[in-house]
Amino acid sequence: MLPTRSSSPCSWTRWSRQLGAISTWPLWITLWCLTPSRTTGLIENILKKAAEKGNNKITVVGSKVCITFLQNLIHMDFKSKLVKDGDTIDLGGGHELEFLLTPNLHWPDTICTYDRKTELLYTCDIFGMHYCSKEITDVEGVEELKPHFQLYYNCLMKPNAKSATTAMKKLRKLAGPVSAVCTGHGPILTHHKDEWLNMYTWSEDALKVLGPAVCIFWVSRHGESERLSQALAFGLTSNDVLVEMHDLNAIDAFEVVEACGRNQVIVVFAPPMAGTAEDNLSSVVASCNGKSHRFLVSASFGENEDPVDSIVSRFVQVGIPEAMPALRLLDGSPEKHLVVQPPAASSAPVSGQASPKGGGCAECPLQPSTLSETALVV
Ligand SMILES: [Fe+2]
């Protein structure tokens, strides 16, 4: 397994140094997820350096979404293997890897990998925490680590509580016991692994929330879309709003229809003007109706971005009301500020005490007071 996006810098350095022996590298590279551009660059470098050393045998293993991303992002042929739930790869010596698709838990292409010999479970971001000490495992104990574990869960997993619940059901059906959970962030969970695993029943509680639910469509590798959408989701879930998130670069039209059917407020972070995300945006608009849905559009600060006004007008033209005025880039600001007022009105950053005129509605979960907690200043 390769280190993921936010693995410690030392792990990346270690991997870079190991490239020196790449002519004898193993035949399989299994990817937890690929969405972060840093991982993409690493894979490309590995494949190129291996080829230079005469090693053309490496096969990259990932979910269909993951491999599709990689094929679109790197400019070389490579061997790949798509894995589905329950697929296995026998590495020899008893190390049979079992794969589980656990999408949308931070990344749309996330998978878990279980080594049946070591009984280690590799989970990408799931069960992670932003915590680092001299300890490799969770010896500090639940009481000390739980705040970090819970904050990470609240920021990245709770906004996709439905996906987290589905993932937990799959993990309970693994072919064997789990000796330790190896996440992409924080200590290896072994001393208290059962307690950590059980804590993710938080997702079942999150799904019991009543009231309008919000679906956030964000855009991977485009401006600040990822970070802003996570900040918004965190603000909403902190106010007990049920949220789910989907990457417009990874979702398909069928999933768009289902997601819009489950949710009453649709948030769109502006995609580039052309490409998969833009195509899926058309599906989003077509999947909404004026009776069931309200919408919010936000700028993403990306290049060649579809203008916020253009996206707003597409929703309005088919009769869908705004949940609140769009979040736009504050003109003339040296910093990147999102504002809730139309450009012509006097504007204040969302993270301040902004109170949009004419925006929002009493029953909508998107209220300025909610947004003010999301720190939408980049
Ligand atoms: Fe991560």
Q: What is the DSSP string of 181-223?
A: EE-SSS-BB-TTHHHHHHHTTHHHHHTT--S--EEEEE-TTST
Higher pLDDT, 73 or 370: 73
Instruction: Output the CA 187–ligand 1 centroid distance in Å.
Output: 13
Instruction: Output the CA 294–ligand 1 centroid distance in Å.
Output: 31
Instruction: Output the CA 11–ligand 1 centroid distance in Å.
Output: 13
For residue 319, give every residue at least 6 positions away whose Cβ sits within 8 Å of its Cβ, in sequence order, or none.
289, 290
Instruction: Output the CA 228–ligand 1 centroid distance in Å.
Output: 16
Instruction: Output the CA 363–ligand 1 centroid distance in Å.
Output: 34
Instruction: Output the CA 124–ligand 1 centroid distance in Å.
Output: 7
Question: 371 is written with which tokens?
Answer: 């947004």
Instruction: Output the CA 80–ligand 1 centroid distance in Å.
Output: 22
pLDDT in tens, 168-210: 999 999 888 999 999 999 999 999 999 999 999 999 988 887 7
Instruction: Output the CA 250–ligand 1 centroid distance in Å.
Output: 17
pLDDT of residue 334: 63
**Residue 15's pLDDT band (cuts 50, 70, 90):** low
Q: What does each C-alpha distance from 302 to 200, 237, 269, 298 come to in angstroms? A: 34, 25, 10, 11
**Residue 25's pLDDT band (cuts 50, 70, 90):** low
**Cα–Cα distance for residue pair 231/375, rounded to 1 Å:** 7
Q: Which residue pairs from 39-42 have beta carbons closer than 8 angstroms and sit at least 24 positions apart in sequence?
A: 39/2, 39/4, 39/5, 40/69, 40/70, 40/73, 40/74, 42/2, 42/12, 42/15
Q: What does each C-alpha distance from 318 to 16, 139, 160, 291, 307 come to in angstroms? A: 52, 56, 28, 11, 18
Instruction: Output the CA 38–ligand 1 centroid distance in Å.
Output: 11
Residue 44 pLDDT more than 90? no
Instruction: Output the CA 111–ligand 1 centroid distance in Å.
Output: 12
Instruction: Output the CA 185–ligand 1 centroid distance in Å.
Output: 7
Instruction: Output the CA 353–ligand 1 centroid distance in Å.
Output: 32
Instruction: Output the CA 221–ligand 1 centroid distance in Å.
Output: 14
Instruction: Output the CA 361–ligand 1 centroid distance in Å.
Output: 35
pLDDT in tens, 260-296: 999 999 999 999 999 999 999 999 999 999 999 999 9
**Residue 72's pLDDT band (cuts 50, 70, 90):** confident
Instruction: Output the CA 110–ligand 1 centroid distance in Å.
Output: 10
Residue 264: count other Cβ atoms within 10 Å of its Cβ. 19
Helix H, strand E, coil C: the string for 96-146 is EEEEEECCCECECCCEEEEECCCCEEECCCCCCCCCCCCCCECCCCHHHHH
Instruction: Output the CA 65–ligand 1 centroid distance in Å.
Output: 17
Instruction: Output the CA 158–ligand 1 centroid distance in Å.
Output: 15
pLDDT in tens, 119-152: 999 999 999 999 999 999 999 999 999 999 999 9
Q: Which helix (H) or strand (E) holds 9?
A: helix 9-18
pLDDT in tens, 81-123: 999 999 999 999 999 999 999 998 888 889 999 999 999 999 9
pLDDT in tens, 306-360: 999 999 999 999 999 999 899 887 766 666 666 765 544 444 444 333 333 334 4
pLDDT of residue 211: 78
Instruction: Output the CA 3–ligand 1 centroid distance in Å.
Output: 9
pLDDT in tens, 212-236: 899 999 999 899 899 889 988 998 8
Instruction: Output the CA 336–ligand 1 centroid distance in Å.
Output: 24
Going by C-alpha positions, the residue among 105, 145, 153 that lies closest to residue 128 is 153
Across the chain, what does the average pLDDT equal? Answer: 83
Instruction: Output the CA 209–ligand 1 centroid distance in Å.
Output: 27
Question: 98 is written with which tokens?
Answer: 């079992």
Q: At what angle do helices 276-286 and 253-262 cross, to 10 degrees?
A: 40
Higher pLDDT, 158 or 23: 158
User: pTM of the predicted model, to two decimals?
Assistant: 0.75
Residue 376 pLDDT more than 60? no
